[in-house]
Structure 1
Amino acid sequence: MTYVLIHGAASGSWYWHLLAAELRARGHDVVAPDLPCDDDEAGLAEYAATVVDAIGGRTGLTVVAQSFGGFTAPLVCDRVPAGLLVLVNAMIPVPGETPGDWWGNTGWEQARREQDELDGRAPDDDIALFLHDVPRELAEEALKRSRPQSATPFTTPWPLPSWPQVPTRFLLCRDDRFLPAAFLRRLAGERLGITPDEMDGGHTVALSRPRELADRLEAYGPAS
């Protein structure tokens, strides 16, 4: 099986390095490209093309997307023969919606405010928001490896007329402070008509719990 791993905004393939090592150790192929997030000429189409080019002629594909990768992954699945799409703490688009409008359309701002109040998080503490359950040294490395994020793809309407015809699973993390669990439960039901699977962990679960995440992905198996 080939796992295609699509990272979120202001990130890169390094985010997946622990999960990729787990999956490769179990005999799987892994494709984890760097999206052109620092390129002001690149929109959602270019993000998807980057992933499709990295896949090449591989088959037996399970596409996995985290956070903002949820806007790119369905575009990839519309172009390659993916057997399964797994969204992990991911944004879920609808036709014609821009990523910039997604936040207001989904009620994310209120959900985040409520979560911040519960957590007592300082507004400028990114580790507490994204990396609170990641070992400190690894969390600091993650912040150092963050990349500039162009605003261009956030102005691009999601181009598909409907969700691609690929089996889709949603895996949320109960301790996610950026995309809170209650918010994602509602969104997955409203936009995909599915009940999400759940595990412990925060927004960057591929860093905090790579082995458990690999177990979850393997348990899905290839789509029938």
Structure 2
Amino acid sequence: MTTWLLLPGAGGAGWYWHLVAERLRARGDVVVAPDLPADDPEAGIPRYVEVALEALGDRSDDVVVVGQSLGGPSAVEIARRVPVRRLVLVNAMIPAVGESPGEWWTASGHREAKEAAVRAAGRQDAGFDEAWEFLHDVPADVAAAGAEHQREQTDGPFVDGWSLPAWPDVPVTVVVGRDDRFFPADFQVRLARERAGVEPVVVPGGHLLALANPDGLVEALTSPDAGVAGSESAPPLAQ
């Protein structure tokens, strides 16, 4: 029986994982999907990690920590601090050692990748468009239900000064949404190879993969060998 610690992205709503949680629990697994203090401007990655670990409690057997988008840095830090069987990053901000979340946007090349994807889609403006970037493949009823759970994301994680001290020594899986418009798939694939040393698993769906394609995501999460760093097909772990 696996214990899944599922960390949401911006807005900090544990509800984001509810469709995935239903499917994992149906397998007999335990799911912990905490709300993170996204609306607290004083809370950064260390506080997010504390909240997640408090929710996990004394569960220590067969733990897999999963980070979505902004949940990625917190998931990596948790895997560094406590014993977990596996780290999974889903459409995530994959950090580099010594790099803060605030620095990630420039250091990763995100802006250039997104602008190229916007141009390829025939759009003129690369400015933020929630509907186009996040909700294009989320069922309308699911998107409507999520509105009450979402909170405003403050700049806390981007200005608190936290950076990753060292990459955790655990197996890593990276899951990429093939249709992600916010973190384009080819951009994510490059980061997975360069930073996590792993060939990612590409799943149909956009940035909010747990809402758009929960079945595909669960299949990727529960596959024992998919994209795990250290496999014969994976490049050496990036330092």
TM-score range, shorter chain: over 0.9
CA contact (8 A) 1:93 1:158 kept: no
1:81 Cα deviation from its structure 2 partner: 1.2
1:193 Cα deviation from its structure 2 partner: 1.9
1:170 matched residue in structure 2: 174
1:111 matched residue in structure 2: 113
CA contact (8 A) 1:67 1:91 kept: yes
Matched residue SS, 2:151: coil
Q: Quick check: 151-160 or 80-89, which moved more?
A: 151-160
1:35 matched residue in structure 2: 36
Q: Quick check: 157-166 or 41-50, which moved more?
A: 157-166
1:15 matched residue in structure 2: 16
Unaligned runs of 5+ in 1: none
2:157 matched residue in structure 1: 153
1:63 matched residue in structure 2: 65
Match of 2:198 among 194, 202, 217: 194
1:79 matched residue in structure 2: 81
CA contact (8 A) 1:64 1:88 kept: yes
State how far apart, in whole Å, the 2-side matches of 1:3 and 1:83 are.
10
State how far apart, in whole Å, the 1-side matches of 2:157 and 2:167 are.
19
CA contact (8 A) 1:71 1:158 kept: no
Matched residue SS, 1:198: strand
1:144 Cα deviation from its structure 2 partner: 4.5
State how far apart, in whole Å, the 2-side matches of 1:113 and 1:142 are.
28
1:132 Cα deviation from its structure 2 partner: 0.8
1:161 Cα deviation from its structure 2 partner: 2.5
1:52 matched residue in structure 2: 53
1:124 Cα deviation from its structure 2 partner: 5.3
- Partner letter of residue 141 of structure 2? E
State how far apart, in whole Å, the 1-side matches of 2:6 and 2:93 are.
15
Q: Structure 1 156/134 Cα, relative in aligned 2: closer, same or farther at 3 Å?
A: same
Matched residue SS, 1:57: coil
2:207 matched residue in structure 1: 203
Give the percent of matched residue pairs that are identical in Structure 1 and Structure 2.
46
State how far apart, in whole Å, the 2-side matches of 1:111 and 1:142 are.
28
Unaligned runs of 5+ in 2: 229-239
Matched residue SS, 1:207: helix
Q: Structure 1 11/36 Cα, relative in aligned 2: closer, same or farther at 3 Å?
A: closer
Which structure has the higher relative contact order (CA within 8 Å, separation 6+)? Answer: 1
State how far apart, in whole Å, the 2-side matches of 1:120 and 1:143 are.
29
State how far apart, in whole Å, the 1-side matches of 2:14 and 2:107 are.
29
1:11 Cα deviation from its structure 2 partner: 3.4
1:102 matched residue in structure 2: 104
1:145 Cα deviation from its structure 2 partner: 3.1
Matched residue SS, 1:30: strand
State how far apart, in whole Å, the 2-side matches of 1:66 and 1:160 are.
17
1:93 matched residue in structure 2: 95
What CA deviation, in whole Å up to 9, does each residue of 1:3-26 have, x standing for no partner? 110000123101001110111111
State how far apart, in whole Å, the 1-side matches of 2:42 and 2:129 are.
30
Select the structure that is richer in helix: 1
